[in-house]
Amino acid sequence: MVQYSADPDVIVIGAGAAGIGAGRALKQLGVPFIILEAKDRVGGRAHSDTASLGHLWDHGCHWFHSADVNVLREMADRLGHKYLPRPRRPYANTFMDGSWSCRPLRDDYVWENLAKVVEVGHSGRDIAAAEVIDPNHPWNPMVRHWLALMYSADAEDISTLDAGRYRDTGVNLPVEDGYGALVAKLARDLPIKLNTPVSAVSITRNGVEIITSEGTITAKSAILAVPARMLETGRIAFNPGLPPALEQAFHDVPMGWYEKIALSFDRDVFEGFDPSYADIFDPVAPTTQPFNFELHPFGRPIAVTHLAGKDVRELERKGDADMTAFALEALERAFGSDIRKRVVKSATTHWSSDPYINGAYACAKPGRAESRKQFLEPLHDRVFLAGEHVHQSFNATAHGAYLSGIDAAQAAAGKAGHGSRTADPLWLAA
């Protein structure tokens, strides 16, 4: 039974990867704290679901990115949480113009161009990704699609410098037991109050005052581990007002859009089909929207579609039926119309309209990469930001969020009079 502190020194708002990282550090440092979470579950954008399809799939994060240096991958090892032990064959599998092609990534036009965007960033230039790619190339929609998946923004809205600052080791491993399930395991022994939305954070003479649906709580310092859009839109009010530089940073590094559509089948309709990750793209169809599918991940009879960028925001607004129809049409094109008869269930994500998330992840606009640094600045020296938007090199990821939570916890603990101690990011209670 987890004990709640009646008189916390630090209050953490949000129980996603960042809030949980903060909680684990505060627990390790022996600081009295509490985590307040608006939803009826922990994890935020880390959410594994077994109920909707009867097979596990992740609504949000699913891959250990930069897995060889990923703190949450190391935690998975400690907890015996399963993931694909080595990267898949580095091939791109694409259904285009009525047939499949399978190419090594090093010879693939799409991957070449994704790398070009990053290289421009490495050279220190901060321009739009759209300026780096050839708009007239027949594969341009596919390059744009992949850029959107990586940055959750359209190519015109992606800063090359921000892209170049992301630390990519190239090792990406999907989490078999669920990324959300892993983050939830890390939350088990933490004092988290669910169903407790925070509406305002105020700076007081000696600390902070937090207004929640359950009343007002005070503490010496606080960590705002909520999606950037919660503060940007004033859904959590900050008194005496957000610093103009932070308001500007929210505008310069906005959250983008990314949704998934999942289908389950009455049997493994992709049996014998080797690539478990495929692109489907028909450049001559009325809609030239490319799709990505994870096909029968870990042998499960499901397909999970990935779509990102502004168009998916519109599709998500139309609702489940339109989203599912869109994905099924693409699957039919590549696998034949019989596949429709095999569908048992469907499920969709709604990160874009989720009142406590309201987007996918944050990406700097062209010319604005420097603004991300603003998220590192404490508010009135008492309120610290944490989250995927805050981490400067593992931004947009769950492990980056987790590490940013640990950093914020150390700073908040110091402010609350607990000295300047560092927490071990791999700490698990004995």
Binding residues (CB under 6 A) for ligand FAD: these are 13-19, 36-39, 44-46, 60-63, 65, 197-198, 225-227, 230, 236, 258, 260, 351, 356-357, 360-361, 387-388, 396-399, 401
Residue 213 CB, shortest distance to ligand FAD, in Å, is 9
Query: Bridge partners of 203?
Result: 208
Token pair in block for residue 25: 């550090």
Nearer to ligand FAD, 70 or 93 (CB): 70
Residues 92, 420 contacting (CB under 8 angstroms): no
Cα–Cα distance between 25 and 422 in angstroms, integer? 8
Residue 276 CB, shortest distance to ligand FAD, in Å, is 15
Residue 365 CB, shortest distance to ligand FAD, in Å, is 18
* Residue listed under structure tokens 């490495």: 122
Nearer to ligand FAD, 26 or 96 (CB): 26
Nearer to ligand FAD, 70 or 140 (CB): 70
* Residue listed under structure tokens 């704290």: 33
Cα–Cα distance between 405 and 402 in angstroms, integer? 5
Residue 212 CB, shortest distance to ligand FAD, in Å, is 7
Cα distances (angstroms) measured from residue 71 to each of 65, 90, 331: 10, 24, 35
Token pair in block for residue 307: 């779509």
Residue 218 CB, shortest distance to ligand FAD, in Å, is 16
Residue 281 CB, shortest distance to ligand FAD, in Å, is 20
Residue 124 CB, shortest distance to ligand FAD, in Å, is 26
Nearer to ligand FAD, 39 or 365 (CB): 39
Cα–Cα distance between 362 and 384 in angstroms, integer? 18
Nearer to ligand FAD, 94 or 397 (CB): 397
Cα–Cα distance between 359 and 91 in angstroms, integer? 30
Nearer to ligand FAD, 75 or 339 (CB): 75
Which string of DSSP letters, residue by residue, matches 145-185?
HHHHHHHSS-GGG-BHHHHHHS---S--EE-TT-HHHHHHH
Residues 110, 142 contacting (CB under 8 angstroms): yes
Residues 103, 146 contacting (CB under 8 angstroms): no
Token pair in block for residue 5: 């502190």
Name the residue with the smallest CB distance to ligand FAD: 16
